[in-house]
Amino acid sequence: MHNKSNVRLPESLWELSKNEQELKQRILNYMRRYPGYTVLEVKGRFAICEIPR
């Protein structure tokens, strides 16, 4: 069974990114802290993720 979880992303990801591609890469790098989480979308400052449970 899979559930969804919202992960609050740090503001610094946006502050340090020069463009959207760089932001996506920073988000994916940040999400490595959450093993098993798969990013489905980013809404505002949250990554909407699917997690195995």
Q: Which residue has the tokens 């790098």?
A: 29
pLDDT per residue as tens digits for the range 1-20: 579 999 999 999 999 999 99
φ and ψ of 26, to 5 deg: -65, -40
Instruction: Yes or no: say if 49 and 4 are a contact pair by the CB < 8 Å rule.
Output: yes
pLDDT per residue as tens digits for the range 19-46: 999 999 999 999 999 999 999 999 999 9
pTM of the model: 0.87
Instruction: Report the candidate in 43, 38, 44, 48 with the shortest Cα–Cα distance to residue 7.
Output: 48
